[in-house]
Every structure is written in structure tokens, then in C-alpha cells.
Amino acid sequence: MISRFITAGVIALSLTAIGYAAEPANGTPSAAVAASAPASAAQQAISATAQKPEAVKAAAPVAVNKVTPNRTITIGMFLVIIAITLAVVIWAAKNTTTASDFYAAGGGITGWQNGWAIAGDYMSAASFLGMSGLMSLYGIDGFMYAVGPAFSFIAILLVIAEPCRNSGKFTLGDILSFRTSSKPVRAVAAISTVTVSLFYLIAQMVGAGKLMQVLLNIPYRVSVMGVGFLMVGYVVFGGMKATTWVQIIKAGLLMSGTVMLAVLVMAKVNMNPFTLFHDLVNNPLIQDHVRLTLLKEAIPKEGFDYGQRFLEPGLLLKNPLDQISLGVAWALGAAGLPHILMRFFTVPSAKEARKSIVVALFINSSFFFLINIIGFGAALYLSPQLIQSIDKGGNMATLMLAQKLGGGAGSLGGDMFLAFICAVAFATILAVVSGLVLAASAAIAHDVYVNIVMNGKADQQTQVKVARITSLVVGITGVMMGLMAENENVVAFVALAFAVAASGNFPVIMLTLFWRKFNTAGVISGLVVGTVAALGLVMISPVMTYPQNVANGAKKIIVALEKKQAEGKMLDEKEIITLDKAQVVFKKNDGGTSMFGLKDAIFPLKNPGIVSVPIGLIAAILGALLFRERRAEEMFDELEVRQITGLGVSKASDH
């Protein structure tokens, strides 16, 4: 009865949100992409190419300031996604009766299924929309964000998957507490898990709100609450089984959309990647974007190839150490993400755990390879200026490209393809947030309530009840934080999640599994110090928003153009618009500070992994050496046998 009531509530809220979307905003035609009223830098750049060859004209888009899909088609696809996933939840709810069912789907997921689910859990909206956007705006530096995740699963396959499957039960706390003092370790592990999950969850919730707001004119708050209500329903009633199948469905849809989009991009260059990159470096709009927007050079340098610069590193990650640090965080962070670790306990054996990682590695690698093609295709066939005129972070690039390659705004093909990609993005958000809520609620319910408060003596019915209540609380918390973070930089939250996972979780997992002398003090020291170091460094890093830096960049353009005027030279129309825009930006941001009151970053790197990971590792080692624990050393042999052979796994689940 309760599940039917919630299902009805979900449908009602979804229809309410659709009601907002069905209202045309300001008389905008439902199937068109609204034209920009004021003249923009993109329009000026396009007009400057009027005398260029036809190939260049074709690449010059009409400037717009909004993407408006066909609401009827898009809403229809959204409803199909919601209906399918709700059917999965209703089916899973009937088969979720024990704690094992709720947290680990009863261990009955096959390696192939789990591999697709892991891929669905990992390929977030930030990956699908954000990374392609970064490549469309920053070239090869965006590629660095996409190549890192492919390597992260190699570490998981070779080091983490099998030992974790054989050593734990449901959560990170199970693994870390096997040979240590259970209560303090579980408490700290739960705090770390909730921290990572909430930061990642905030980024997804803000992304969902912005996506629905931009595409369908659904108010941000309604969007966030609607997504939150759906994800809570998935987890509370369906548990891991429902979450797993939602992730599998989402992964299949996402790969289908990504493959189709990448093939359409390559078809325009006759499947020749050399032609794609040749056209990129010779595109005048990309050259102007690199010179004006990225390098802040109002006057072109004689003989400098700005197109080639787009394919060279340093436009976003200006410090070479940033690239190394980003790689460290990506490669090690995924192995410490709680919602990824939980998936190892859903399979019946260590062999299936290894198989699932191989499958996930293949899917993720293929996905991130194709994202590169989509990102560069968006830069070439839309232009960075057009992409930034709609969203400064480039998050709409994939959606815009889908509409253009499908036939253009207003065409049936364009609207159908855009609606499909929008629905895929929506399904992506639902799947990822469900996994995050489940991981956070498991840490609170299983580690804190069952094993700390109740000393592991809670019956199955009570465990499931508490798990569902904590899922509801975590979901509501995620919605509230998403509402408060509407205007924050979501990249900072993703950086925080991976930095904390790499700096706190990964070192203590490795040392727990493979170092005999590791103990309770080491776990607590590593988690606390690694987490605090990562949080602190991100908060004072360049990934935060510093208005004064924005003002300084605008000032550089103003000085160069005013110097040209002082020399008695006339500015052309394009330079006048650039000067006016720079003056507005300077006035708006001059004297501003970050959310922590800083005018500029203190820590120079965008990602702290290269510093915070060693800090967490050293803290864990020192803690273990300073406070020796005989019991932890004596139990290492038992843990080693179990993680290698899998013997006694069922017994180990009772610890």
C-alpha cells in the first residue's frame, strides 16, 4: 500500500513538473532555438567570415542564447523513462525483504550485469555533458578530464575488486573494520562516505536543476525536488536491486546516444580523424576564441597559430602539475568512491567481481573515447562562442550538437535526437543519484545504527526499516543542499568528492588489505587527515570562483584596446563590442571575493591530489606506527587468506 502511494506521488509530482514545461515561455516557439536579441561577439565573429570559403560558412552558426527542444516529444520521452524505471522499482520492491537484498541485491547480480551497472553508476551527467563541454571550449585540456577515468578502473581491477569482495559485506566500514576496533572505525568511515556521497550528489542535483530549467523552463527548485522525489522512491522501495537495473538501463541508453552522436560527427569528415583535427585548427571561430577568450589577447600576435594552440595543453590546466594532480585524483579516486565499492558486494563471487570490472572498464573506456569526438565536434560545428553564449561552462554543447546533427532546430530529426539525448541525460542523473543515496544511507544505517548503536544485533526487518528511513533522510538532505547550491560551481563539488576519495579512502583501503602493521589508529588518522587536507586545499584552490581574477582578465583586454585607441588607431566593430563587454565584466567583478573571502587562490592547483594523497597516506602510516595494535597484526593472516582465496566469506559477513 505504501509503495503504491509513493508511486502515485512520484507520478503526480512528475506531471506537475511537466505542467510547468508545457507552458511556452515568453511566447517562444516550442520547437525552435530562440534567437539572441543583442549583437554578440559570436555574431561579429560569424559576420567576419562572410567572405570565407563555403566550408567556413557552413561552420559558422547563427548565434542563440537558449536551447528549446520540442516539449511534446521531450516530455514524452521523459515519461517513458520514468514509467520504465518506476516499473523496475515496483518489481524490485516485491523482492527486497532482507538487509542483504536492500544493500547488495542479495548478491545475485551477475558479472555482466554488475559491469553495466558500475558503468551506469560512474558515467555521470558531469561526464556526459561537462567533459564534452570542456573539450569544446578548452581543447586538449578537456581531453585530460576524459582520459583519466579510463585508467581508474585498471587500479580497481588489479588491486581492489577481488580483495574487497572477499573481505567485506555491504560498506566501506565493513572492509576497514575487519581487523580493527569496529565502532570508531565504522564511525569515521561513515562520515567519510557521507561526505564524498553528498558532494557528488550536490553536483548531480544542481546539474539536474539547471538542465530542466534551461531546456524545459521548469523552475530550478521544482526540478531539483522532482528528481529528489524520484531518487528517494527508487532507493527507499527498490534498494540495490532497483538501483542496479536503473543503472543498467541508463548505461545502455547513454552508450546508444553517445555512439550515434559520435558517428554523426565522424560522418561529416568521412570518418577521417585527420580531417576533423585539420578543420579544427583552421576554423576562424576557434582561433578567435583561443585568442580573445582563453589567452586574453585583444591584438593578434604576428605568425602565432591560435588554431594549433587549441590542440596543445595549458589553456585550462595551465600548470603542468595540475595535469599530474588531476590524473592522480582520477586514477585513485574512483577506487575509493563508496558507491562504486558497494557494487563489489552485489555479485556472488570474486570471479564475478573481476568480470564486472572488465566489463565496466571496456564500457567506460569506449564512452570516454567517444566523448572526445563529441567535444571536438561541438567546437567545430557549433563554435565555442555559440556554446558559451548559452552556457558559460559548455554544459549544453552535447545537446546543441545533437539537435544540429539531427537536422537542425525545428526539424523532426533534430527535435527527436535532442529529446532523446535530453532523456538520456535525465536518466543519467537519476541513476547516479540513486547509487549515491544508497551508499550514504548504507553507511548511516548499517555502520552507525546496526553495528555501533545496536552492536550488530538488529533483526532483518529492523535493518531494512532503518535503511529506508536513512535513505529518505539522505535524499531530503541532498535536495536541500542542491537548492542552496544553485549558484555554486559544481566542478568544485566533483573535485571535492574525488579528492576526498583518493586522499582518505583509497590509502586506508590499500593499507588495510596489504600491510600487516596497519591498525585502528592508522585508519582513523588516514581518513581524518586525508579528508581534511583534500577539503581544505580545494576550498583555497583555483577551482573556486574568484571574481577579482575575472575582472583582471577583462582589464587586460581593456588596457590593450585602449592603448590602441591612444595610439590613434581606430577600433573595428568587433573590437568595440569586445571592449564594451570587457568593461561590463570588469565593473561587475572588480573587488569581489570567493565564498571564503579570498581574492585569489592560495593553493595553485585545481585538484589537490598530488599533495593531499601523500598527506593522507603518510598520516595513515604514522598513525599505525605510533599506536601499535597486536590484534590487528594477528588477524592479518586471516584477512589475507580470505581476500586471496575467498574462503570464509559468508562467515566474514557476520563480523
Please, are residues 502 and 336 in contact by the beta-carbon 8 Å criterion? Answer: yes
313: its cell numbers = 595543453
- CA atoms of 127 and 387, how far apart (whole Å): 17
Q: Quick one: which of 459, 174, 505, 76 has its CA closest to 329? A: 505
Q: Which amino acid is at 379?
A: A
With a pLDDT cut of 90, the percent of the chain lying above it is 19
For residue 64, the cross-strand partners are 35
Q: Can you tell me whether residue 534 is helix, strand or coil?
A: helix
Please, are residues 337 and 155 in contact by the beta-carbon 8 Å criterion? Answer: no
Please, are residues 241 and 96 in contact by the beta-carbon 8 Å criterion? Answer: yes
Could you count the other beta carbons within 10 Å of the beta carbon of residue 179?
Answer: 25
Count of residues in the chain? 655
Q: Quick one: which of 18, 308, 324 has its CA closest to 10? A: 18
- CA atoms of 161 and 444, how far apart (whole Å): 23
What tens digit of pLDDT does each residue of 21-79 get?
333 333 333 333 333 333 333 333 333 333 333 334 334 444 455 677 788 888 888 88
Question: How many Cα atoms occupy the beta-carbon half-sphere of 463 within 13 Å?
Answer: 24
Could you count the other beta carbons within 10 Å of the beta carbon of residue 413?
Answer: 12
Question: How many Cα atoms occupy the beta-carbon half-sphere of 456 within 13 Å?
Answer: 9
The b-or-e profile of 192-207 (16+ CB within 10 A means b, else e) is bbbbbbbbbbbbbbbb
pLDDT band at 620 (very low <50, low <70, confident <90, very high): very high
User: Residue range 329-355: average pLDDT?
Assistant: 83
**pLDDT at 144 (0 to 100):** 74
Cα 125 to chain centroid distance, Å, stands at 5
Alpha helices in 515-546 (DSSP H): 520-539
pTM for the predicted model, two decimal places = 0.78
**pLDDT at 52 (0 to 100):** 39
CA angle 394, 398, 402 (to 5 degrees): 145
Write phi, then psi, for 217 (nearest 5 degrees): 60, 25
Q: What does DSSP assign to residue 301?
A: P
End-to-end CA distance of the chain: 35
**pLDDT at 145 (0 to 100):** 73
Please, are residues 651 and 638 in contact by the beta-carbon 8 Å criterion? Answer: no
**pLDDT at 489 (0 to 100):** 59
Query: CA–CA distance from 566 to each of 301, 556, 561, 562, 600 (Å)?
Result: 19, 15, 9, 6, 31
What tens digit of pLDDT does each residue of 277-324 get?
999 999 999 999 999 888 888 888 888 999 999 998 888 888 888 888
The residue behind cell 589577447 is 297
**pLDDT at 4 (0 to 100):** 40
275: its cell numbers = 580531417
pLDDT at 394 over 50: yes
Q: Which amino acid is at 486?
A: E
The b-or-e profile of 489-508 (16+ CB within 10 A means b, else e) is bbbbbbbbbbbbbbbbbbbb
Write phi, then psi, for 568 (nearest 5 degrees): 85, 10
Q: Which amino acid is at 170?
A: F
Please, are residues 144 and 597 in contact by the beta-carbon 8 Å criterion? Answer: no
What tens digit of pLDDT does each residue of 471-527 get?
888 888 888 888 887 766 566 677 678 888 899 999 999 999 889 999 999 999 999
Structural domain boundaries of the chain? 2-496
Q: Quick one: which of 341, 350, 405, 364 has its CA closest to 103? A: 341
CATH architecture of 2-496: Up-down Bundle (1.20)
Which residues 6+ apart lie within 8 Å of 323 measured at CB?
A: 144, 313, 317
Count the helix, strand and coil residues of the chain and give each as a percent rounded to the nearest 5.
75, 0, 25
Please, are residues 641 and 551 in contact by the beta-carbon 8 Å criterion? Answer: no
Which residues 6+ apart lie within 8 Å of 389 measured at CB?
A: 36, 40, 42, 63, 64, 65
What tens digit of pLDDT does each residue of 135-190 get?
899 988 877 776 766 677 777 777 777 788 777 677 888 888 888 888 899 999 99
What tens digit of pLDDT does each residue of 222-248 get?
888 888 888 788 788 888 888 889 889
**pLDDT at 25 (0 to 100):** 34
With a pLDDT cut of 70, the percent of the chain lying above it is 86
For residue 35, the cross-strand partners are 64
Q: Annotate 399-433 with DSSP letters as a single string.
A: HHHHHHHHT-TTSHHHHHHHHHHHHHHHHHHHHHH
What tens digit of pLDDT does each residue of 248-284 get?
998 999 999 999 999 999 999 999 999 999 999 999 9
